[in-house]
Amino acid sequence: MDVVHDRAAGIDVSKRDAKVCVRVPEGRPGRFTTTVTTWGSTTNQILELRAYLMRHQVTTVILEATSDYWKPFYYLLEETLPLMLVNAKAARNMPGRKTDVADAVWLAELAAHGLLRASFVPPEPIRELRDLTRARATVVRDRTREIHRLEKFLESTGIKLSSVVTDLTGVSARAMLEALIAGEHDPDVLAELAQGRMRSKKPELVEALVGRFGEHHAFMTRSHLGQIDVFTDRITELDARIEASMAPFRPLRDALTTIPGVSTIVADMIIAETGGDMNVFPTAEQLASWAGVCPGSNQSAGRIKSTHILPGNKYLKAALGTAAIAAARSRNTYLAAQYRRITARRGRPKAIVALEHTILTATWNMLTTGECYTDPGADFYARLAPERTKNRALNQLRTLGYDVTLTPAAA
């Protein structure tokens, strides 16, 4: 097998240290020597490792790690060395030889022959934006969980407020909960705190606000509401920070929000996870595969063993799932028509994944060409195969017992 890099290094990273294998020519043609050393994971140790690799004049460095332990190594080494972060699955060693030292030697061997593909690591501005959007997603999820805890706790008091209002943190519900904590237990008085359209539900509110709400319940409810307020304040801070970081990418975000179902928050997540630069992904299919929103390929002896979607970027998949559900509920759009068409044949989960794939494909095309989204229309499939659409409608009418004769409309 041809040697692509005469001087290569493989690094297997763990939490406390890293095993480093340097593979360099021995002196005789075609002969190489490997040296394995151990380095700590502190900044000073990584800087010494960087100087060590530069002294050996390595032309490629392969980095493999679990969790986020690769980050301090990557961010310090990328400044001066040709570095590749690789997926551990793609660099799997032979069975029975699983040690950190063997992994480092194997990585160096693969690097020398150019047999590995680099994982996508975005530039620093995108990394900072990604930290912010991921933090916001985590805090939003935590806030939702705290609201669910409050709802479950209120069940123990007999207060069924969540069965009437859709949001326990809304203006009307929050005013009623604050009054309960303050000691007001008269359901008629509490129901009077409803505002806007909620006032039309006063009889239901009076019934739902009858319960056994004591001092202990007031303390626990205050605790839950305080935690919800903390999460809300953190989300507000993150929103402001994200808005400032999105300044260079606002034209991209505005273009993405023209896709049905893609909100500003979803567009922020798409840009943060993909980097907004489609040169990293040569085709829309490769982007969909990286995101994990396309069928897997597992075929042997002419038999397809599995087509389950593969694990991908979980943050991007979550955002695309939100967009797909919103697009499925939209009116007079191609995505809604596609959802109904696939749901009828293959079920809701596969239809949602199909919409995620379509949205991501549209994203790749838009960010590649710079054009805004153009919806094909809800009647796209009817225009695509008008004869088939007509025959399907006729068959449905005949099934219902109708004898139909078609007359072409006047021009």
Which among 219, 245, 271 is the end of a domain? 245
3-state DSSP call for residue 305?
strand
User: What is the reported pLDDT for 135?
Assistant: 96
- Is residue 112 within 8 Å of residue 6, measured between CB atoms? yes
Q: What is the pLDDT of residue 304?
A: 64
Q: Which CATH number goes with the domain that contains 56?
A: 3.30.420.10
Q: 16: which 2 tokens?
A: 């406390």
Q: Are residues 155 and 266 in the same domain?
A: no
* pLDDT tens track for 37-55: 999 999 999 999 999 999 9
Domain boundary among 245, 265, 282: 245
Give, in order, the Cα–Cα distances in Å from 352 to each of 19, 141, 271, 333, 386.
43, 21, 21, 15, 26
Q: CA 330, CA 324: separation in Å to the nearest integer?
A: 10
In Å, what is the CA distance from 40 to each residue of 10, 29, 102, 178, 304?
15, 34, 18, 54, 45
Q: Residue 193 and residue 135: Cα distance in Å, rounded?
A: 35
Q: How far apart are CA 86 and CA 157, in angstroms?
A: 54
- If pLDDT is split at 50, 70 and 90, which confidence band does 95 have? low
Q: Is residue 118 part of a domain?
A: no
Q: Are 172 and 135 within one domain? A: yes
83 Cβ partners below 8 Å, 6+ apart?
61, 63, 74, 77
Pairing type for strands 303-306 and 298-300 reads antiparallel
Phi, psi of 21 (to 5 degrees): -115, 125
Tell me what the mean pLDDT of segment 347-356 comes to: 92
- Based on the domain organization, do 87 and 134 belong to the same domain? no
Q: Please state, as a whole number, how many other Cβ atoms lie within 10 Å of the Cβ of residue 5.
A: 18
How far is Cα 379 from Cα 356, in angstroms, rounded to an integer?
20
Q: If you count them, how many residues does the chain have?
A: 411
Q: Flag whether 340 is in a domain.
A: yes
pLDDT value of position 384: 82
Which helix (H) or strand (E) is 36 found in, with range? Answer: strand 32-40
pLDDT: which is higher, 272 or 303:
272
Structural domain harbouring 149: 125-245
